[in-house]
Amino acid sequence: MSTGESGKNRTILGSIVGAVVVLAAGYFGVDAATGGDDSNDSHASSASSDISASGDSCAVDTLPDQADEVIDAILDGGPFDHGDHDGKHFGNYASALPSENSSYYREYTVDTPGINHRGARRIVVGGGSDTDPDVWYYTDDHYESFCSIPDAED
């Protein structure tokens, strides 16, 4: 094998190993870039999809049943399945949602059947009170994209 082929093989192997590390980190809720747990710091996304500009919305009846259960729990003030995380600060560091002050957004876990960790699905609310938020958003890809939930309180 020539030196060029050996270097190319190392590059391919490095790419494969890197991809496996990122996938494993995502599965276990670890931010591969920092090595930290990203389940509460809400900066995992580098994509930006300003909801106010795009107008993406999703009616409650288009969301998983588990999302409807979380919406009801928010409106009732709990309890929540992931109390250590639910209702906590969502930083919007990737500016995927409209810009607001740093304490505006809060996140809640939407369980995914068949997995034994928090998964990627969340409801993020903003403003208002704990039981009457001003805005509602849903993500099923761990903050990469959002849709607003216009009928969450209906």
Domain residue ranges of the chain, discontinuous segments joined by + = 1-38, 51-148
Answer with the residue of higher pLDDT: 5 or 20: 5
Cα–Cα dist 45/68, whole Å: 24
Say whether pTM exceeds 0.75.
no
117 is a catalytic site residue:
no
5 is a catalytic site residue:
no
pLDDT higher than threshold 90 for residue 123: yes
Catalytic residue among 107, 117, 144, 153: 107
Catalytic residue among 69, 142, 144, 153: 142
Q: Which of 22-26, 36-40, 43-47, 64-68 has the lowest average pLDDT?
A: 43-47
pLDDT higher than threshold 70 for residue 17: no
Of the CATH numbers 3.30.230.10, 3.30.450.40, 3.30.9.10, 3.10.450.30, which one belongs to the domain with range 51-148? 3.10.450.30
pLDDT value for 1: 54
